[in-house]
Amino acid sequence: MRLIIAIVRPEALGDVLEALFRADIRGLTVSSVQGHGGEMEQVETYRGMTVKMELHDKIRIEIGVSEPFVDRTVQAILSSARTGEVGDGKIFVLPVEKVYRIRSGEEDAEAVTPQDPGLTEILAGLTRDS
């Protein structure tokens, strides 16, 4: 299994989610973060006080997947989050030692995104219910 961590622009999130769902990736966690990826500082002015905002709002997406899903997950994010400008973000792919699904106690590949695409719909339904 792999843990895929992607940092993307907030305005790209809708497109990324759409691409992931199209690629049958259903289980993920999203958080709001701030960071700096070398992009241009954004200049703001408040009553004569000029500031450079060094940290930009980003979205961090974490997805645990089994091996067959790694590539399609990465491709989905790459294709949907890219604008070509500095600041599009990063994707990190990390090895995972162990995964448990809390509801059922399933382990490892059983506990992440389904391997059999035929089961996708059923399991997506179960995930929503839990």
Partner 1 sequence: MIATNSLQAAAIAVQGAPEIVGADTAWLLTSTALVLLMTPALAFFYGGLVRSKNILNTLMMSFASLGVVGVVWALAGYSLAFAPGNAWIGGLDFVFLRGVGLEAGEWGGFPHLLFMAFQGTFAIITAALISGAVVERMRFGPYLGFIALWTLLVYAPIAHWVWGGGWIGEMGALDFAGGAVVHVNAGVAAVVAALVVGSRKDYGRQAHLPHNVTYVLLGAGLLWFGWFGFNGGSALAADATAALAFVNTLLAPAATLVVWLLLDTFRAGKATAVGAATAIVVGLVSVTPAAGFVGPLSALAIGAIAAFPSYYAILYRSRSRLDDSLDVFAAHGTGGIVGAMLTGVFAQAAWGGTDGLLFGAPGLVLVQLIGIAAPAAYSGAATFLLLKAIARITPLRKHVREEGVGLDIVLHGEEGYARGEGAVLVLSEQPVRPARRPVPIPEHPAREIA
| HEC profile of 9-53 | CHHHHHHHHHHHHHCCCCCCEEEEEEECCCCCCEEEEECCEEEEE
Q: How far is the CB of 45 from partner 1 (least distance, A)?
A: 5
For residues 89 and 66, give the distance between their C-alpha atoms in angstroms, rounded to a whole number: 23
Please pick, from the candidates 21, 22, 55, 68, the single residue that binds partner 1 as defined by CB under 8 A: 55
Q: Does 39 bind partner 1 (CB under 8 A)?
A: yes
Q: Does residue number 102 form part of the binding site for partner 1 (CB under 8 A)?
A: no
Determine the interface stretch with partner 1 among 33-41, 67-75, 106-114, 121-129 (rule: CB under 8 A): 33-41
State yes or no: residue 71 binds partner 1 (CB under 8 A). no
CB of residue 49 to partner 1, shortest distance in Å: 7
DSSP at 100: B
Residue closer to partner 1, measured from CB, 41 or 106: 41
Burial readout 69-79 (b: 16 or more C-beta within 10 A, e: otherwise): bbebbbebbee
Question: Where is 57: in which H helix or E strand?
Answer: strand 56-65
| Footprint on this chain of partner 1 (rule: CB under 8 A) | 7, 9-12, 14, 18, 33-36, 38-46, 49-55, 83, 85-87
